[in-house]
Structure formats: C-alpha cells, structure tokens
Amino acid sequence: MSNLWTISWRCDPQGREIADKHYNRQSVGHQDFAPPGRCLVLKCEGAVWITSFPFSEYVHHMWAGAWVNSLFRREPNCPHRASDLIRSAVAATRWKWDTPELGMITFVDATKVRRKRDPGRCYRRAGFEHVGYTKKQKLYALQLLPEDMPAPLAPLGTNYDLFSHAG
C-alpha cells in the first residue's frame, strides 16, 4: 500500500491556492499558509493537508499535546475520497513524529461547511470521534486516538533515512 500524499512546505504556491479557499484561512494570499511552529504539509492532486504539532504550553484548548489537523481542503477535481485522504495523512504524520497520547484533534465550524447530518462526516468516516466543542467559537472537536490510527506510512517519493527520521 502506498500513501496518497507527497510532502510539501508551508509556502508551496499550489498548496496556498487551495488553502486560500478554506474557511479558516486568515490571510488569503499570504505566501505562508501554515500556522507557526512544527507542521507537516502534505499535498496531492486537488488537496492539501496540514498537521500542526504545537507545544503544549501555547495551546488554549483541552487537547494540549495532541497533533492538530489545522487545514484539510479537498477540491472537487481530487480523485480520492476525503476519508481516504485523512487516513493517509494521519499515517504520514505517524511516519514523521511519535504519536502523542491524545492522538490527533481537528475542529470543524458547522456554520461554514456544507450542511450535513453530522459536521465532520469525512473525519468520522476516517475514525474520528466527536469529543466536545471549543469554548469560545463552539467548534466541533473531533479526535482520533492512537489505537484507532493507521500504521505509519511514508508519503510518496520519500526515502526512509535512518539518521533523520524523527519517529
């Protein structure tokens, strides 16, 4: 099995073009579309993903220490299902870093996504569970615990390097 993603970077022009269409984009057009700090930026045809790994002391929600999926955008021309992309991105994140106890968290603004039975449906199909809401904005919090994650899997085009692999 191969991963669906390739590694990108926080200022990738193709990634920025897709990221600019996401509802949580704060500075549309700015070259850097990733939050500050540690992150893994992934891209594939018609999609971009960011896993942030913020230091716990700078986190103001109850899942401090978890990875944060801070951006996922899939364009209509993307040939892959959203839930498959999510599982593949989690596998790539596990390849990059040791999995934190709290796993991965993502936040969904139900007022900004297409109306569905359950906001975050593609995340739920990928194994995430609804675990609460953020205090201020009342965003849906969805979490994927380590035991429910796919095995680590290197992104496409990546060579495993024993001396630089972080986990």
The string of DSSP codes covering 37-93 is SSEEEEEETTEEEEEE---GGG--STTTTSEEEEEEEE-TT--S-HHHHHHHHHHHH
Q: What is the pLDDT of residues 82-94, one digit of tens each?
A: 999 999 999 999 9
Q: Which amino acid is at 162?
A: L
Domain ranges of the chain: 6-148
Read off the pLDDT of residues 37-59 as tens digits, 9 standing for 90 and up.
Answer: 899 999 999 999 999 998 777 77
Q: How many whole angstroms separate alpha carbon 129 and alpha carbon 150?
A: 15
Q: Is the dihedral of CA 92, 93, 95, 96 positive or negative?
A: positive
User: What is the full per-residue pLDDT of the chain (167 aa) written as tens digits?
Assistant: 689 999 999 888 888 888 877 766 566 666 777 888 899 999 999 999 999 998 777 777 778 889 999 999 999 999 999 999 999 999 999 999 999 999 999 999 888 777 767 789 999 999 999 999 988 878 899 999 999 999 999 999 886 554 444 44
Structural contact between residues 85 and 106, judged by C-beta atoms closer than 8 angstroms: no
Residues 6+ apart with CB under 8 A from 1: 153
> What is residue 26's predicted lDDT score, i.e. its pLDDT?
63
Q: Write down the CATH number for the domain with range 6-148.
A: 3.40.630.30
